[in-house]
Structure 1
Amino acid sequence: MSKRILVLDDNQDILDIVQETLTYEKFEVRSTSNSLDVLPLMEQFIPDLIILDYRVAGTTGGEICKRIKLHPQFSNTPVIIFSAYLNNDDHLLNYGCDGVINKPFDLSELVEKVNNLIYP
């Protein structure tokens, strides 16, 4: 059974590229551009890893990450935050995420980070 990844990004081009890349790598991927969809999709899809864009309408990926890490069912689910806006990864790690990928990013970096978190 393939591992499941949930992706949030409000840029459809990035969502498409990430979904295509991770699907090619044999992951089952669900994606959304709406931050309000993340928690309901999590509970429905039960992902093995979650990727969040830092800057999304209405909130931040950091705030969503904190909610995920407080959720009893998903507190141990690895979370990666994408960011084009912060140069200091430590700021993002304070939200409890397990990894940071700075935009623009290399697809091989994405796949490597995902594999390292899903298959430690």
Structure 2
Amino acid sequence: MDTNLKKILILDDNEDILEMVKEAMLSEGYDAESISATNDIIQSVKEYGPDLVLIDYLLPGINGGELCHHIKTNPETAHIPVVMLSAYPRVLASLGNYGSDAFIAKPFSLEELTGTVKGLLDKAEHAAV
């Protein structure tokens, strides 16, 4: 496996969306891991070591915004860009963005998704230099 591949962690409870987004990330040349649930987002992030995380807002139990907040307030993971995905952009707008780096409303085009991911990865890479 190419260790230079950027790693994307995808969290969504909809299997169809998980599969579609994972395929899109793989076709763009990224290493992608998809999960439909997690009890500990920090542990999931530490285990996989993603360069970027995509999180659905509406998840069973804890919402994706809270998971994003956990990532962004943990010193070990705060630098990782997080993109929130949701079919309910008004809900997210009224609750704040939880520190996410980008928001994409569902349904979205794969071009919008891959463009956002590439832009955030490029920005993070330049910030690290």
Fold match (TM-score > 0.5): yes
1:52 matched to 2:55? The reply is yes
- Residue pair 2:83, 2:100 contacting (<8 A) in 1 also: yes
1:69 matched to 2:75? The reply is no
1:102 matched to 2:105? The reply is yes
Give the Cα–Cα distance (whole angstroms) in 2 for the partners of residues 12 and 109 of structure 1. Answer: 20
What CA deviation, in whole Å up to 9, does each residue of 1:5-31 have, x standing for no partner? Answer: 100000000000000010010100111
Percent identical among aligned pairs is: 40
1:18 matched to 2:58? The reply is no
User: Bigger shift: 109-118 or 68-77?
Assistant: 68-77
User: Bigger shift: 11-20 or 93-102?
Assistant: 93-102
What CA deviation, in whole Å up to 9, does each residue of 1:45-71 have, x standing for no partner? Answer: 111000000000001110001100111
SS of the residue corresponding to residue 114 of structure 2 reads: helix
The structure with the largest strand share of the pair is 1
- How many residue pairs get aligned? The number is 120
Tell me what 2:88 maps to: 85
Tell me what 1:42 maps to: 45
The RMSD of aligned alpha carbons is 1.5
User: Structure 1 pair 2/94, CA: closer, same or farther in 2 (3 Å)?
Assistant: same
2:76 partner amino acid: Q
Deviation at 1:90, TM superposition (A): 3.9
Give the Cα–Cα distance (whole angstroms) in 2 for the partners of residues 119 and 90 of structure 1. Answer: 26
TM-score (normalised: structure 1): 0.93
- Residue pair 2:11, 2:35 contacting (<8 A) in 1 also: yes
Tell me what 1:115 maps to: 118
Structure 1 residue runs of 5 or longer lacking an equivalent are none
- Residue pair 1:92, 1:100 contacting (<8 A) in 2 also: no
TM-score (normalised: structure 2): 0.87
SS of the residue corresponding to residue 50 of structure 2 reads: coil
